Amino acid sequence: MSAAQRFAAITSSAAPSGQRVLFERAIVLGGSVAGLMAARVLSDHAREVLIVERDDLAALDVPDEEIAKDPVGAVGPRPGVPQGSQVHALLPSGQIQLERWFPGFVDAALAAGAVNPPPTAGRFYIDGELRQDPPFGQDMQGLISSRPFLEALLRHRVLALPNVRSLHGRVDGLTITDGAVTGVRYVPAGADEAVEEPADFVADGTGRSSRLGDWVEGYGFPRPPMQRMGIKLNYATAFYRRPADAEVWTTISIDNPGPGKVARIAGFTPVEGDRWTMLVAGYNDDRPSRDPADYERRCTDDFPSEFGHVATTAERTSDVITYHQADSRRRDYHRLDRFPARLIAAGDAVASFNPVYGQGMTSAMLHASCLSEYLRGNPDLSKPALSYFADVRVVVDAAWQVSTLSDLALPHVDGPYPRGYKFIQWASGLVFKASMRDNEINGIVARVTTMLAHPSELSRPGVVFRALAASTRG
């Protein structure tokens, strides 16, 4: 299959079938979105699934009805997710996967307080120009909430599975015997020494700081090569009270770099608890601070009027919270020809992108789909999960191409550049400009940027020719 065909299979909404028990015990490292989704998939293939997490997941477990009573106070950011208070987006592709693995999730989330805003209540600016039509069609409205709210609903469903339980502690390493993983070492909360839990399969979901490369290297296996792209992203987020009569619910503004122009991104979206969450972002030396006056000034002076209106008329209900991400990174496990059997990585432990494009949670959910494809495909468990890593590469490549192509246009980013970058840059710029005035192209761009379609859709001859025609019309 081509990458686009594999991407279509991975992003399928069809209920999985053909699951069978392959393991006595599977262990998932990390209880964030990637780990929870991996645990859900593994629950169909293991008699027991353990999630090892530094935060006490059992203590954080909150039923839907309690969240619905107080969607703001019932859940909060986990210590293990330092960026949890920042704006997060669940792309439509991720929403499809949530519904695939947890039927009824969307309705339950809306009942608990998540938001599905009217499609006419959004505005989208590029370089100060208002795109009159929403950037996504009405059939692509996403499920909007804060990260802690969404993760709480997901965590409750995973921990409710009869064969899943959590272990509170810090992962300390792996045991690998005869070329296959056979156990996980972890330090229980409150203890000083590590203990070992036997395992027949291990999934690493410990995020950007994953030490999986160190652990396998200690057993003589090569660590995966890592690519980094320095982006030097700085952003700040604050929550505001959203009035019931708000005319505009969502606004996104993207300012591209150019002569006399600074690259900036901002956005606000409605979240549970009748609130807005609003983000302003800059790059390199452009650093939003925690000072409320600086934040308000940026909203008023640097972005369309909707941002200043929220910042100056709505009640701010939180401190201004800042975050910095130095780089996007990917660990290319697919390049390895030697790797322990019955061991995989998922989510940010494989690839972590510029967060302003909202690809992280959705990519983690698609990695779970890759895991399901692998385990339902009659795998040889005595060998490395190469077909899994090949599918994950398809997902990573798709997200990486979309986000890093935009980041490479930033003056402070100096690569790495993909092969044929100049042509890709020209063609992509042509298509994206055409999307501002051609609804058909706009729909294709929206499907790609929301991970519903593979980026190769943008380079189809028909799309490029239509974009060329649009450019000649001025």
Provide the whole-model pTM: 0.95
Q: What is the mean pLDDT of the chain?
A: 93
With CA atoms as reference, report the closest residue to 85 among 166, 151, 157, 170. 151
pLDDT digits (tens, 9 = 90+) for 233-244: 999 999 999 999
pLDDT for the residue numbered 136: 47
pLDDT digits (tens, 9 = 90+) for 57-88: 999 999 999 999 999 999 988 887 767 677 78
| The Cα angle at residue 74 between residues 72 and 76, in degrees rounded to 5 | 70
Question: In what helix (H) or strand (E) does residue 351 lie, and over which residues does it extend?
Answer: strand 351-352
pLDDT over 90 percentage in the chain: 79
Q: Is the pLDDT of residue 302 over 60?
A: yes
Q: Please give the class, per CATH, of domain 118-139+229-325.
A: alpha beta
Where in the chain are all domains bearing CATH 3.50.50.60?
A: 3-83+151-227+329-407
- 3 state DSSP class of 314: coil
pLDDT for the residue numbered 474: 57
Mention every residue, 6+ apart, whose C-beta is less than 8 A from residue 85. 77, 147, 148, 237, 318, 321
pLDDT for the residue numbered 204: 98
Q: Both tokens of residue 260?
A: 């006399």
pLDDT for the residue numbered 138: 44
| The Cα angle at residue 335 between residues 333 and 336, in degrees rounded to 5 | 75
Per CATH, is 3-83+151-227+329-407 categorized as 3.50.50.60?
A: yes
Where in the chain are all domains bearing CATH 3.30.9.90?
A: 118-139+229-325
pLDDT for the residue numbered 137: 46
pLDDT for the residue numbered 77: 86
pLDDT for the residue numbered 434: 87
pLDDT digits (tens, 9 = 90+) for 114-159: 999 887 888 989 889 887 554 444 454 468 999 999 999 999 999 9
Q: How many CA atoms lie within 13 A of 243 on its CB side?
A: 9
Mention every residue, 6+ apart, whose C-beta is less than 8 A from residue 387. 373, 374, 377, 379
Question: In what helix (H) or strand (E) does residue 168 lie, and over which residues does it extend?
Answer: strand 164-177
| Burial zone of 83 (CB within 10 Å; 0-12 exposed, 13-18 middle, 19+ buried) | middle
> What CA–CA distance (Å, rounded) separates 389 from 396?
10
pLDDT for the residue numbered 449: 92
Q: Is the pLDDT of residue 326 over 60?
A: yes
